[in-house]
Structure 1
């Protein structure tokens, strides 16, 4: 049985490596992915992700720049912590946001966040003004495409 999967690319393409998620989804959109897999360029529109999840998905792969202090271009693949996707006591959600964890928290509160959530992230080299990825992150974007294709059962 295949799970309807959404691959959501976050990031601001005007801030160099912050556009990692958007670029990966752009590259994936050019592939003949399986019918159960859809891509979405979220960019900085977190509310758009919540609205798209309302269509009903069993899995989501969030692609974004993730800064953990490793070498630029380092890829991460992980399930987010519960605190990253569920609203904490006394925590409020504001509808004006673009950040993935806030989008996922809102989708969770509304009952639309799938149980199967994976983040594919990349350590940025620069999030300064710039319209292209740095070399290390551009190379990592190709590796991220390969990783995601394997995750969704597409040989490419």
Structure 2
């Protein structure tokens, strides 16, 4: 159990990944869903970190609790959820092969540590991806089904820290408007995807290596 947080403890809930590459978008979709359902007091900030990498380091300044949602190659069955905490998080990220943004976020934590800005409390909520090379695709069913358990982990952690969603909340405008276009929100993104016949998904044929 995490002790109750002092009233001035600051929490950053961060989703990282790329929604354009199928299960790579898990972290961002978790933050999007959390922000659409809940609002918190000013101790808690939700951030779609995308694949910004080292540019996220300034976001960790004065943060006491960092919750990270991400798709991570744990070597487990697709859709498996795994929780890593505190000082094990940077060690784990340095030891495991993740997705394309792995090195960038390792550097974020390392630089934050060097600057004395690494949050004292870290919670990594990761899911084993199934599909990463489907450009324009959404989450696979196995990974999409883990959004709810992942949010439960985060909300449970916050509750143990004495932080709860506000009553009579409205959907967070900050998160709902985080994407540059409404079509990138999960529901519209999935329903608006063109067919394979209308949108080639396997690279530009002009640059593909001819088979021998």
Displacement after TM superposition at 1:82 (Å)? 6.9
Determine which of 102, 116, 122 is the counterpart of 2:121: 116
With the length of structure 2 as denominator, give the TM-score of the two structures.
Answer: 0.62
Q: Aligned partners of 1:33 and 1:147: how far apart in 2?
A: 17
State the number of aligned residues.
146
Structure 2 gaps, min length 5: 1-5, 95-101, 167-212
Partner of 1:7: 13
Structure 1 gaps, min length 5: 88-96
Higher relative contact order by CA 8 Å / sep ≥ 6: 1 or 2? 1
Partner of 1:141: 147
Q: Does 1:74 align with 2:80?
A: yes
Partner of 1:94: none
Q: Is the 8 A contact 2:89 2:123 kept in 1?
A: no
Q: Aligned partners of 2:91 and 2:105: how far apart in 1?
A: 9
Q: CA RMSD in A?
A: 2.4
Partner of 2:183: none
With the length of structure 1 as denominator, give the TM-score of the two structures.
Answer: 0.83
Q: Is the 8 A contact 1:84 1:105 kept in 2?
A: no
Q: As a proportion of its length, which structure holds more strand? A: 1
Partner of 2:36: 30
Q: Aligned partners of 1:11 and 1:66: how far apart in 2?
A: 10
Larger Rg: 2
| CA distances 1:13-70 after superposition (whole Å, capped 9, x unpaired) | 111101110110111111334312211111100233211112x111101111111111
Q: Is the 8 A contact 1:24 1:144 kept in 2?
A: yes
Structure 1 moving runs of 4+ over 4 Å: none
Q: Does 1:102 align with 2:107?
A: yes
Q: Aligned partners of 2:38 and 2:165: how far apart in 1?
A: 10
Assess, with a 3 A threshold, how the Cα gap between structure 1 residues 98 and 12 changes in structure 2: closer, same or farther: farther
The 5 A counterparts of 1:34-73 are 34-35=40-41, 36-54=43-61, 56-73=62-79
